[in-house]
Amino acid sequence: MSFIRPIGVIAAKDILQRLRDRSVYIMGIVGPLVLVFIMSATVGAAGDVSAFEFGVANGDGGEVAAAFEEVLFGLEEEGTVEITVAPDRAALDQLVDDGDVAAGFFIPAGFSRAAAAGGSAEITVVGDPGSEIAVDVAQAIAATFVEDLGYVSTATATVMQIEGAGQNAERAGEVAAAAVAMEAPISLAPNETDGRGRDLASYYSVSLSVLFLFFTVQFGVLSMMEEREVGTLSRMLVSPFHPVAIMLGKMVSALVIGLITMVVLVVATALFIGAEWGDPVAVGVLILAGVTVAIALSILVAAAARTSEQAGAYATIAALVLGLLGGVFFPISDAPGFLEAFSYASPHRWLLDGFRDVSYGAGIGSLGPTVAVLVGFIVVFGGIGLATAGRRLVAA
């Protein structure tokens, strides 16, 4: 009998059996999608930060005060803040009291003159006690500007000395305003990723799909233990089917089920949630590698267990621990340094990093190191598992 035919027969039988099993759909498709929707909605809503609403009242009218207003308007153009201009301090206080703005900046009379003369120049921040974060941001903006005025005063004094302008207040104000308006010689360029990034929908679509993949694949592999307990495996072993063909048939069925569920999740999350997965070819390579790693881990777990119940429990624990270590529930970059170092012992970490890079625009050519490490996991998990499971299969 051809070696390929029994593999196909066993795989087809298992695939049809699994497709009739509702638990595969719940664990492989429905569960991840529901959690992705929930996590994206709840965490995403909490993580969306709208622009801070600030007010400003310029009681000075000088050039340095105008420069500070320009700083605020520049932040408004960037979408960081929304600025409401008040005619005086009383109107600014009223805006804060009414809740129209979270905090306000009051520039007192004589501010520009004090800044030009190197004196004490202060900006008063008026804040709503219930908007602590916004008030902190406003104070940071004001403090940074006032701190920079110290450098402005030094520059103004130097220029005035060189020009021999003496105590010319008008000229001092012009020089101070020019110094304030100067751009820093070094600035940070905006982060460019070809318009692609990792939003929460994409992050949870990838991470939860990877997590549930390890649960879904184990159904096919661990079914061999169930068949051994009910006697089906013994009848298969006395058939013309070679033991290796039986094991390969189980692995092929798990591979097909894993690929189907992952493809469905990729398409569904992209269409209905707006997840960014990236280059389809690179995503396909990572999916294939991920499914194969999950199969290898399931074989290793099955080899360590004596009953199907033990195998199911071990597989669940292994998937959760490796998933937690790999960052499926939270970005591992937020974890302590030692935990981030340990995370590289989890295949989940490498899969998530690979999907992240692809979502940022990377192609298949940049996945070499990631795929190589995943192949290493497959060899180690699968090699140990097959060696042990093979002996038990023959013994059955």
- SS3 string, the chain, reads CCCHHHHHHHHHHHHHHHHCCHHHHHHHHHHHHHHHHHHHHHHHHHHCCCCEEEEEEECCCCHHHHHHHHHHHHHHHCCCEEEEEECCHHHHHHHHHCCCCCEEEEECCCHHHHHHHCCCCCCEEEECCCCHHHHHHHHHHHHHHHHHHHHHHHHHHHHHHHHCCCCCHHHHHHHHHHHHHCCCCCCCCCCCCCCCCCCHHHHHHHHHHHHHHHHHHHHHHHHHHHHHHHCHHHHHHCCCCCHHHHHHHHHHHHHHHHHHHHHHHHHHHHHHCCCCCCCHHHHHHHHHHHHHHHHHHHHHHHHHCCCHHHHHHHHHHHHHHHHHHHCCCCCHHHCCHHHHHHHHHCHHHHHHHHHHHHHCCCCHHHHHHHHHHHHHHHHHHHHHHHHHHHHHHHHC
Q: How far apart are CA 104 and CA 122, in angstroms?
A: 14
Query: Does the domain at residues 52-181 carry the CATH identifier 1.25.40?
Result: no
Residue 308: per-residue pLDDT: 77
Best mean pLDDT range from 53-62, 128-137, 160-169, 213-222: 53-62
Which residues lie across from 85 on neighbouring strands?
Answer: 56
Tens-digit pLDDT profile for residues 305-329: 888 788 888 888 999 999 999 988 8
Residue 223: per-residue pLDDT: 73
Tens-digit pLDDT profile for residues 356-375: 999 888 889 999 999 999 99
Please give the order of strands across the beta sheet that includes 103-107.
81-86, 52-58, 103-107, 124-127
Q: How far apart are CA 99 and CA 188, in angstroms?
A: 34
Place of tokens 């004589």: 110
Name the residue among 68, 132, 134 with its Cα closest to residue 106.
68
Tokens standing for 254?
């798990």
Res. 225 pLDDT band, cuts 50 70 90: confident
Residue 396 has pLDDT above 60, yes or no: no
Residue 313: per-residue pLDDT: 87
Tens-digit pLDDT profile for residues 19-49: 888 888 888 899 999 988 888 777 655 455 5
Q: What is the pTM of this model?
A: 0.64
Name the residue among 18, 364, 359, 379 with its Cα closest to residue 207.
359
If you average pLDDT over every residue of the chain, what do you get?
A: 80
Residue, of 161 and 367, whose pLDDT is higher: 367
Place of tokens 């003369």: 117
Among 31-45, 123-137, 194-208, 335-349, where is mean pLDDT lowest?
194-208
What is the percent of the chain where pLDDT is above 70? Answer: 76
Q: What are the extents of the domains in the chain?
A: 10-43+197-395, 52-181
Q: State CA 280 to chain mean position distance.
A: 20
Residue, of 376 and 243, whose pLDDT is higher: 376
Q: How far apart are CA 54 and CA 134, in angstroms?
A: 8
Q: How far apart are CA 392 and CA 137, in angstroms?
A: 65
Residue 234 has pLDDT above 70, yes or no: no
Among 5-19, 234-248, 263-277, where is mean pLDDT lowest?
234-248
Name the residue among 182, 184, 174, 183 with its Cα closest to residue 64.
174
Q: How far apart are CA 231 and CA 341, in angstroms?
A: 45
Residue 263: per-residue pLDDT: 95
Res. 392 pLDDT band, cuts 50 70 90: low
Res. 283 pLDDT band, cuts 50 70 90: very high
Residue 288 has pLDDT above 50, yes or no: yes
Residue 346 has pLDDT above 90, yes or no: yes
Q: What is the mean pLDDT of residues 187-203?
A: 52
Q: What is the mean pLDDT of residues 376-396?
A: 77
Q: How far apart are CA 325 and CA 345, in angstroms?
A: 8
Residue 50 has pLDDT above 80, yes or no: no
Place of tokens 């207040």: 169
Residue 178: per-residue pLDDT: 53
Residue, of 292 and 250, whose pLDDT is higher: 292
Residue 183: per-residue pLDDT: 46
Q: State CA 167 to chain mean position distance.
A: 57
Residue 93 has pLDDT above 70, yes or no: yes
Tens-digit pLDDT profile for residues 107-136: 998 888 877 666 666 889 998 877 888 888
